[in-house]
Amino acid sequence: DSGVTQTPKHLITATGQRVTLRCSPRSGDLSVYWYQQSLDQGLQFLIQYYNGEERAKGNILERFSAQQFPDLHSELNLSSLELGDSALYFCASSARGDTGELFFGEGSRLTVL
Amino acid sequence: AQTVTQSQPEMSVQEAETVTLSCTYDTSESDYYLFWYKQPPSRQMILVIRQEAYKQQNATENRFSVNFQKAAKSFSLKISDSQLGDAAMYFCAYRTFLDGGSNYKLTFGKGTLLTVNP
């Protein structure tokens, strides 16, 4: 158990809909990362938050947004969903210090029909 | 931009044998971290081993070891005495600093699917 909690584990929805994925980082970790894992693109970095502030953006679509709340949990909002958004979405958190390791949650499997 | 390449989409090994997974990366940095993560069918990403670039000694964790060749920008993972539970997707990753500061992310290779045959 990494200590990172993601909900829901599975989600099935239709095109055009909007979903919210939730992540609670490990206790004490201030950084939260979101990654998308699809078969053809591998693991793609989407966005990072540190202590409530957006720190970096990767390959995140404009239809997607995220935020980190004062209690450090984070939400990834996906809107106007398309078939191609079907993927495994991972949240990860990192510890203070300089080890570079990310601790991953179990992921949220999104299926868009 | 830093890139990570895993040239072996799939590998197989007999139980109790040794297998080596390859990874190369491209960077202009001199100090960095490299990782191997394992993703079993449960899909949880699990850290297998970590290597700091400034350390010349190759990292070892029980049956897992790396062959880190800094000049060649190569970072292979050796699994000794392979077990059925080692079957998983293995990802090589490089720590990339963001915005020139202490903020960073991990850049992953495409992965190598390892099958362990009984």
- pLDDT tens digits, one per residue of A60-85: 999 999 999 999 999 999 999 999 99
What's the rounded Cα separation, in Å, for the pair B97 and B118? 42
Q: Report which DSSP code applies to A113.
A: -
Nearest to B99 among A56, A103, A106 (CB): A56
Phi (first) and psi of residue A85, to 5 degrees: -85, -10
Residue with tokens 């830093």, as numbered in its chain:
B2
| Confidence grade of residue B105 (pLDDT, cut at 50, 70, 90) | confident
Smallest Cα distance from A46 to chain B, Å:
10
Nearest residue in chain A measured CA to CA from B49 = A101
Three-state DSSP class for A61?
coil
pLDDT surpassing 90 at residue A99? no
Smallest Cα distance from B18 to chain A, Å:
26
Q: Contacts for B22-26 with beta carbons within 8 Å, 24 or more apart?
A: B22/B74, B22/B76, B22/B112, B23/B74, B23/B75, B23/B76, B23/B77, B23/B92, B23/B109, B24/B72, B24/B73, B24/B74, B24/B75, B25/B73, B25/B75, B25/B92, B25/B94, B26/B2, B26/B73
- pLDDT tens digits, one per residue of B7-24: 999 999 999 999 999 999
Chain A residues with CB under 8 Å of B107 CB are 45
Q: Output the pLDDT for position B102.
A: 63
Nearest to B43 among A2, A45, A107 (CB): A107
**Residue among B114, B115, B98, B118 nearest B37 (CA):** B114
CB A66, CB A58: distance < 8 Å: no
Percent residues over pLDDT 70 in chain B: 95
- pLDDT tens digits, one per residue of A31-61: 999 999 998 778 999 999 999 999 888 989 9
Q: Considering chain A, what is the average pLDDT of its residues?
A: 93
What's the rounded Cα separation, in Å, for the pair A92 and A2? 9
Chain B residues with CB under 8 Å of A103 CB are 47
| Confidence grade of residue A4 (pLDDT, cut at 50, 70, 90) | very high
Three-state DSSP class for A74?
strand
How many C-beta neighbours within 10 Å does residue A76 have?
Answer: 24
| Confidence grade of residue B71 (pLDDT, cut at 50, 70, 90) | very high
Judged by a CB distance cut-off of 8 A, whether residue A64 touches chain B is no
CB A66, CB A46: distance < 8 Å: yes
